[in-house]
Structure 1
Amino acid sequence: MDTNQLWKERFSHHVKMMSRYLRLMFNDHLAFALIFFVAAGAYFYQQWLEQVPDTLPVDWIMAVILGLLLTHSPVRTFFKEADTVFLLSVENRLTPYIRKSISYSLVTQAYWLAIFLFVFSPLYLKIYNQIDPQFLFVILGSLIVIKIGNLLAVWFLEKTRDTRLHQLDLVVRLIINVMLVFFLVNDELLLAFIAAVLIVGVAFLNYWNIYQKYSLPWDVLIEKEEARLQFFYRIANLSTDVPDLKHKPKKRHTLVRMATNPIKFQQQSTFIYLYLITFIRSGDYFGMYLRLMGLAIFFIFWVPLLWGKIVFALLFLFVTGFQFITIYNHHKTIDWIQLYPVTSKIRKKAVHQLILLLMMVMVAILSVMFLFATDYVGAIIYAGVGLVFTLLFENVYVKSRIEKMSLN
């Protein structure tokens, strides 16, 4: 077996799958929203920099966020269930395959390090105005080198099933990485070098005590790879149908009872009952709703101008309504849904009711946040604009999208 060729085939398949779903996810509407979000965010970020206090602990902020990115260093292996049969016998010849997997993981994770460092750069240079901007390349290069050490430390530890060792390794590397970034941004290169040596030491200990003594736990590695793939599928499923998505509902009995108790036990309520439970018990929808709400609240308090707060709040309101239209096809592959003695009109109406409810709840909560972030006038303005936007969006855009989905 040519393991180099095997990795190329799996990498090619992974790239094709990612590109296909990304094209569907970033359609015209979402792409426009993202472009607007980035442009508006950059504008308000620039406005905020003009009044940021010099006492802001940007070094600790960068240390914590970049330290977390350094510590989170999973290695993408593209392993599949069949590998427990076909690759087990050639495990000792997988070194080129693993080397390419680590290289791929380094490139993708270094990209996010560069993005976050780029975002922090204006704030960092504003506070540390004596620092040469060229020093940012030194920081980036150092972060990439340390990322290699973290990737190796994680991979060498993958051979053990002891969760306590994994947790200990995570805590130790997180502390070292945070301090390393803190020393870097403060131009304490000697202390940063010592921290880097400690990361190398952790990787060496994992190699000496774990990697050399055990074989690969194929079931664990395949389970982790499947979990990463399903995580991407869950995100993609919010914008398009993903046939390979495996749904793992969560109980959340209390929330289900609170949401369904007001619903009358009658035929007309069949699908609103089903979709409400689906929204709450599926981590995809409920978790995304909470995250969008949290981001909207953050920008309401962060953006300095009232109209900017309103624009961002409306943007997240739009994304919320847009993302949850796909719940219409959530049970598309379940045949017994078709056996319900209920017309398709009631099913469409249920989706309308759910999206309207979610958007109205968001408008209400964000209006309260406007009350704290601005004043009564700001809260009333947003409540009015948000209500009008919700009604128009639900009656025009959502209606047309559901009609198209029902024809497929």
Structure 2
Amino acid sequence: MNSMQNIWSKRFLHYIGEVQKYMRFVFTGHIAIVLVFVVGAGGYQYSEWLKVAPNDFPAEWLVAVLVGVILAFSAPTTLIREPDQVYLLPLETKMPIYFKKALNWTFISQLLLSIATYIVAIPLLNTVTALPVSQIWIGLFVIILLKYLNVQMEFNYRYSNRGQLIWIDRIARMIMSILIIHSILTSGLVLGVILLVIVTTYHVFLIKRVADEPVPYEHFVKLEQNRMMRFYRFANYFTDVPHLRGSIRRRAWLDFVYAWIPFKKEKTQHYLVFRTFVRTDDYFYLWLRLTVISAVIVVFVDIPVVTWIVVGALSFATTLQLKYALLSSGEFRMDMLYPVPFKQRGYAVETLLRFFMVIQAIIVTICGMTQPLFLFIPLIILVVSELTLRLTKGASENAL
């Protein structure tokens, strides 16, 4: 028993250290400022909308659907590694102790999002419904219980079925969670209890199926690898993750981006840089993601000063991260074998960033045309981007 607890403790401490190592690069100063303004502006918009919210607004269904969807996605964090398929086989009878620790952490780490979503929705429920305070708190208790059951059920389903057709299990649990929460919020307590009994029965059924099944190490290893890879890809948008290799896609529909580049020796790096950016998922999706975030913010936040600060910060983040990434010389490239001036790559990167920041400015401006003084949006994006290009040094320049 102690050996399994020690294994979990060591792996958990290593996992927390790995997460902290990269998260300190994610929540930097400018990101923190953006988050403060976004949360503040979002809260202000929300409070203003509540003043004019119609009494017939389906708040119960909205809360039930949002929370139910979150509850259904309860993939377990097992921290299982590939060598465990061999080295933990002699201890398989003690694995329930290990998995109990893993599921406790999964429940605690995933519970916050469900509770936060429900708490944010409480002012809406108080505004458009006549629910007593006691019933709202009962809803919170039910959400906590449902999260615990969802975590246990998804783990047991994956355990007994090796993860096959997990989407069917999730849809079923999602529907049941939505109906239970809606019943609790609409005074249908009897129906909610009946549905909760059905869910509990399904949970007991899965537990019995797991009892005689061997540990599906391969499935949990793959699940854990995919989960950590998603985290590393996210962290890679803010800092370099050495062991992460991004995927490459053809994207023939974007060939026009570098088709206009002249076939000349002095334009060699322009062609390579544009082609690298378009085809590399890490670079392309970084630009796309930050552009979409800027566009969504200017659509839903109509406070000019807030939108200017946010789009300026995201413009700075886009330009800075892409410049460092594209100028990185940590890996060997074929163009290093050819007699092309070293500084040519820097000029090519600046050309690419100016081109795509103009596209970002156009997209964000179109989305913010309903705002007052929206013409300041493209000006801020382009000015911040240009200043970032001129006042920062690239990775390859620092290496000289």
| TM-score of the pair, normalised by structure 1 | 0.87
Paired position in structure 1 for 2:166? 166
Offset of 1:230 from its aligned partner? 0.9
How many percent identity over aligned positions?
24
The one-letter code sitting in structure 1 at the alignment partner of 2:47 is Q
The one-letter code sitting in structure 2 at the alignment partner of 1:58 is A
Give the 3 Å change call, closer, same or farther, for CA 37–229 of structure 1 in structure 2: same
Paired position in structure 2 for 1:249? 248
Contact 2:328 2:396 in 1 (8 A): no
Equivalent of residue 357 in structure 1, options 339, 344, 355: 355
Contact 2:65 2:178 in 1 (8 A): yes
**Distance in 2 between the 1:118 and 1:295 partners?**
24
Partner secondary structure for residue 159 of structure 2: coil
Partner secondary structure for residue 215 of structure 2: coil
Contact 1:149 1:203 in 2 (8 A): yes
**Distance in 2 between the 1:292 and 1:407 partners?**
26
Paired position in structure 1 for 2:109? 108
With 237-246 and 55-64 compared, the bigger mean Cα shift is at 55-64
**Distance in 1 between the 2:248 and 2:342 partners?**
25
Contact 1:77 1:98 in 2 (8 A): yes
Q: Kindly provide the CA deviation profile for residues 200-226 of structure 1, in whole angstroms up to 9, marking residues without a partner as x.
A: 2332233333x2343222222111101
With 263-272 and 221-230 compared, the bigger mean Cα shift is at 263-272
Paired position in structure 1 for 2:225? 226
Contact 1:21 1:236 in 2 (8 A): yes
Give the 3 Å change call, closer, same or farther, for CA 220–121 of structure 1 in structure 2: same
Offset of 1:114 from its aligned partner? 1.8
Contact 1:153 1:203 in 2 (8 A): yes
**Distance in 2 between the 1:217 and 1:406 partners?**
49
Contact 1:184 1:192 in 2 (8 A): yes
Offset of 1:246 from its aligned partner? 3.0
Determine if the alignment matches structure 1 residue 32 to structure 2 residue 23.
Answer: no
Paired position in structure 2 for 1:392? 383
Unaligned residue ranges in structure 1 (runs of 5+): none
**Distance in 1 between the 2:327 and 2:91 partners?**
42
Paired position in structure 1 for 2:139? 139
Determine if the alignment matches structure 1 residue 328 to structure 2 residue 326.
Answer: yes
Unaligned residue ranges in structure 2 (runs of 5+): none
**Distance in 1 between the 2:398 and 2:146 partners?**
52
**Distance in 2 between the 1:234 and 1:146 partners?**
30
Determine if the alignment matches structure 1 residue 236 to structure 2 residue 231.
Answer: no
Give the 3 Å change call, closer, same or farther, for CA 10–121 of structure 1 in structure 2: same
Q: Kindly provide the CA deviation profile for residues 278-333 of structure 1, in whole angstroms up to 9, marking residues without a partner as x.
A: 43333334334444444434333333455555555545444443543442366633
Contact 1:102 1:151 in 2 (8 A): yes
Determine if the alignment matches structure 1 residue 366 to structure 2 residue 364.
Answer: yes
Offset of 1:352 from its aligned partner? 2.3
Give the 3 Å change call, closer, same or farther, for CA 305–174 of structure 1 in structure 2: same
Number of residue pairs the alignment of both structures matches: 398
The one-letter code sitting in structure 1 at the alignment partner of 2:150 is N
With 296-305 and 26-35 compared, the bigger mean Cα shift is at 296-305
- What pairs with 1:269-348 in structure 2 (closer than 5 Å)? 269-305=267-303, 312-328=310-326, 332-334=330-332, 336=334, 338-339=336-337, 341-348=339-346
Give the 3 Å change call, closer, same or farther, for CA 401–309 of structure 1 in structure 2: closer
- RMSD across aligned positions (CA): 2.7
**Distance in 1 between the 2:95 and 2:327 partners?**
41
